[in-house]
Structure 1
Amino acid sequence: MSDLRIGISGWRYVPWRGDFYPQKLTQKNELKFASRAVNSIEINGSFYSLQSPDLYSRWCADTPDDFVFSVKGPRFITHMRRLNDVETPLANFFASGIFQLKRKLGPILWQFPPNFKFEAQKFEHFLSLLPHDTQQAKACARGCDGRMEKSGYLDIPARGRVRHAVEIRNESFVTPDFIALLRKYKTAVVVADTAGKWPNVEDLTTDFVYLRLHGDKALYESGYTPAALKRWGDRIDAWRQGSQPEDAHLVSGKSGRARKSRDVFCYFDNDIKVRAPYDARKLLQRFGLDKHLAVAPGDLRGLEL
């Protein structure tokens, strides 16, 4: 059976308080609540700055046993260094404690800015540096700066896979050469709904699919209609069964490797007007996954704090 994760991008938003989050919920308990209303969350804080092993360990402890996090890679690598001389920054990231999430660690998301253009040689070098199992990740982490050598920084399991997904926002990536590189390095291309602002690419490049739904009418704002959610649910059904939607937006003329199933990770990022958690819940309901969750939006019942 494929694993289906539907959730939200981040969880700490002021407008959500007293709406998605119950009025009396304290800020320190927001992750506990959100992780019992959806079955996966993207960690956004790791994009802005390196977190700590203690913090990842706390997030792991605050969430249900069967929960999964995706972790957003640092913008220092993608936006500031722009993939130049990133060996040590990558080591710092893998030494920052993400493996304290233990079995709850899902894919790592690498998001690139709109003004970052595809350069095959540079991009392949970056992909070649990414660890795909925990042994490789530990070897990478050993190259970190001394400041990263905190308690638990090398507590990385001896066995386990590490998955990566790439989100692009420049038309120069819409080329078969980019898709070929992702397939070579077993990395997913993010299927991003961006109200038509940035490329929509749905090529299958590895054994899972990663979706980010930013809003189909207004970026980060608009909610999804029942018809829109049905469309995304139908696409998820196809991907979970190892196939493609008939109207898939493909860059490469070659189909992805045939599989019996694919895992799917879907995150709503239309958070400005408190749409994301409600849209995520509706899609969870489509697949009957809401029945296994402890709380509903705005309702403290079933949550022990």
Structure 2
Amino acid sequence: MTHGDIRIGIGGWTYEPWRGTFFPEKWAQKRELDFAASKLTAIEVNGTYYSSQKPATFASWAKAVPDGFVFTLKASRYCTNRKVLAEAGESIARFTGQGITELGDRLGPILWQFMATKKFDPDDFGAFLKLLPASQDGVALRHAVQVRHDSFLVPEFVALARAAGVAIVYADSTDYPAIADVSGDFVYARLEAAVEEEPAGYAPAALDRWAAAARDWAAGGSPEGLPYVADAAPKQPRDTFVFFINGAKVRAPHGAMALIERCSGNGR
């Protein structure tokens, strides 16, 4: 294997402005996931951040998408929005035990997103990483962390994530610091700086650069021109997930489809 799989998508699939701009006119709302999954290769589920879901719900999502499609799940806010992260064990167990493994091979990484006010405390954050389970119901779990405070821009944070085998989310954002250091056996990128003036959210040249970065990540590299705080990780093929999310949300599906086209051959 010379490169990992590249999967590209958006956040969720229910958004009124996508009706008629992404979904065909008069497309049945109950079939929006089916349509999105026919055009994209991954979806980041935001609803799991706010509330738990039933096992049957995860099972129904799995049945609605084709082979090779992957859902990533944003973990519950009760796990990450707390003063002492080391005390999150019960909330983490509740989240991973709610039935997410009903997704089967459609289950992608879990995204643990932290508030922009959350500062880096090496001991407490290290304790949190140790709470993340390696598996649930016999299914291996993969974890990614998105931190959004400048205090995380230190090699010590990267070292903690690498020791835990957890991916650091790279976020292309106009609001938060970016950390491009590769730390897990997969890469998780969120493109959050889309603008509505561009039909695909990002200019064609920018999409070309993101396609090159995605291929580089999948081949095990660390793309040039991105912000790093530590030495490069060992080169090895890595599954790569790229999501167009936030920013000009109405453009997200078009950005994802444009990037899939540029990465054709590695998309599924």
The answer for the alignment partner of 2:34 in structure 1 is: 32
Q: In structure 1, what is the equivalent of residue 68 of structure 2?
A: 66
**Aligned residue in 1 for 2:109:** 107
Give the match for residue 147 of structure 2. Answer: 168
Q: Equivalent residue for 2:233?
A: 256
Gaps of 5+ in 2: none
Pairwise CA distance, 1:238: 1.4
Instruction: Check the 8 A contact 1:223/1:270 in 2, yes or no.
Output: no
Equivalent residue, structure 1, for 2:190: 212
Output the CA distance in 2 between the equivalents of 1:178 and 1:51. Answer: 32
The aligned counterpart of 2:257 is: 281
In the superposition, relative to structure 1, how do residues 290 and 201 fare at CA in structure 2: closer, same or farther (>3 Å)?
Answer: closer
State the distance in 1 between where 2:37 and 2:54 align.
20
Structure 1 residue 83, shift from structure 2 partner: 2.0
**Which residue identity is paired with 1:26?**
A
Q: 1:85 to 1:180 in 2, by over 3 A?
A: same
CA contact (8 A) 2:148 2:176 kept: yes
Structure 1 residues 289, 31: closer, same or farther in 2, change over 3 A?
Answer: farther
Q: Which has the larger radius of gyration?
A: 1
Identity %: 42
Q: Distance in 2 between matches of 1:15 and 1:179?
A: 38
SS in 2 for 1:110: strand
The alpha-carbon deviation at position 75 of structure 1 amounts to 0.9
Native 8 Å contact 2:211 2:262 kept in 1: yes
- The CA deviation at 1:15 is 1.0
Kept in 2: contact 1:222–1:270 (CA 8 A): no
Secondary structure of 1:264's match?
strand
| TM-superposed deviation, 1:233 | 1.0
Q: Secondary structure at the match of 1:211?
A: strand
Q: Say whether residues 1:244 and 2:222 are aligned partners.
A: yes
Aligned to 1:140: none
* Aligned residues of 1:36 and 1:63 also touching (Cα < 8 A): yes
1:54 lines up with 2:56 in the alignment: yes
Q: How far apart are residue 291 of structure 1 and its match?
A: 9.1
Q: 2:158 aligns with which of 164, 173, 179?
A: 179
Q: Distance in 1 between matches of 2:38 and 2:247?
A: 18
User: Offset at 1:89?
Assistant: 0.8
Partner AA of 2:242 in structure 1: C
Which amino acid in 2 is paired with 1:249? P
In structure 1, C-alpha distance between the alignment counterparts of 2:52 and 2:170, rounded to whole Å: 26
SS at match of 1:123: helix
Contact 2:8 2:42 in 1 (8 A): yes
* Structure 1: gaps (5+ residues): 138-155, 293-305
What's the secondary structure of 2:250's corresponding residue? coil
Partner amino acid for 1:89?
Answer: S
State whether residues 4 and 263 of structure 1, in contact with CA within 8 Å, keep that contact through their aligned partners in structure 2: yes
> Secondary structure of 2:169's partner?
strand
**Within 2, Cα distance between the matches of 1:82 and 1:48?**
20
2:148, 2:90 → 1: CA distance?
25
Task: State the shift of 1:289 in Å.
Answer: 5.3
> Contact between 1:193 and 1:216, CA under 8 Å: does it hold in 2?
no
Tell me how far 1:258 sits from its aligned partner. 2.5
Instruction: Choose which of 39, 42, 46 in structure 2 pairs with 1:44.
Output: 46
Partner of 1:7: 9
Give the alignment partner of residue 172 of structure 2, picking from 172, 193, 196: 193
The residue identity in structure 2 corresponding to 1:181 is L
Aligned partners of 2:161 and 2:267: how far apart in 1?
36
In the aligned structure 1, how far is the partner of 2:25 from the partner of 2:195?
30
Query: 3-state DSSP class of the match of 1:275?
Result: helix
TM-score by length of 2: 0.93
Show the counterpart of 2:81: 79
Is residue 2:209 matched to residue 1:231? yes
